[in-house]
Amino acid sequence: MILFLLISIKKEFIMRMLILTFVSMFLFVACSSEDKKDVKELAVKEEVVAQEEFVDENVEETISEDVIIVVKDGKTLYKSCSSCHGLKGDAKALGVSKPINDYSKEELLTIFKGYKDGTYGGEFKTIMKAHIEARSEQELELLADYISMIKEN
């Protein structure tokens, strides 16, 4: 009988503790949800204001039509060519091309034009065409000038 009474008291105690826990959790969630909402609204308002200020600082009244073109020298431009053509232009690119350091500036410009319009080059001309098309006329001029004089250096 005493054992039955103890088990009954334990069950009652556990049930009360569970109810108390659920009520506490409910009150905690119910009371704290409004505070979170207020904090979220405040954070959103601050973010919007911060973004508006950022935009205002970066708005320019006038747009300049001057374009600055960065021109590298021929030696700097040639660095991307040297992996196939060699540091002095004496390598056969992909094992098939002629060494480019034997060409004059005029010959190189003609070759560049041929790669660009597809009238020059062998089976790998599409590789060179992509490289040539990525360069401006001024850069090609600088490259041709540098390559034609590379053998002398």
- pLDDT per position as a tens digit, 34-79: 555 555 555 555 555 555 544 445 545 555 555 544 446 889 998 9
Domain contains 66: no
- pLDDT per position as a tens digit, 82-95: 999 999 999 988 88
Which pTM does this prediction carry? 0.52
Task: For residues 140 and 129, give the distance between their C-alpha atoms in angstroms, rounded to a whole number.
Answer: 12
Question: Do 135 and 83 share a structural domain?
Answer: yes
Domain contains 69: no
Question: How many domains are there within the chain?
Answer: 2
Domain contains 65: no
Question: Do 84 and 54 share a structural domain?
Answer: no
Q: Is the pLDDT of residue 13 over 90?
A: no
Q: Do the beta carbons of residue 126 and residue 133 sit within 8 Å?
A: no
Domain contains 83: yes
Domain contains 130: yes
Question: Do 136 and 82 share a structural domain?
Answer: yes
Task: For residues 7 and 151, give the distance between their C-alpha atoms in angstroms, rounded to a whole number.
Answer: 102
Between the alpha carbon of residue 10 and those of residues 2, 20, 58, 68, 145, the distances in Å are 12, 15, 69, 84, 97
Q: Pick the residue with more confidence: 74 or 2?
A: 74
Domain contains 94: yes
Q: Do the beta carbons of residue 117 and residue 89 sit within 8 Å?
A: no
Question: Do 137 and 109 share a structural domain?
Answer: yes
Question: Do 91 and 52 share a structural domain?
Answer: no
Question: The CATH number of the domain where 137 resides is what?
Answer: 1.10.760.10
Domain contains 143: yes
Question: Do 143 and 111 share a structural domain?
Answer: yes
Domain that holds residue 43: 1-59
- pLDDT reported for residue 25: 73
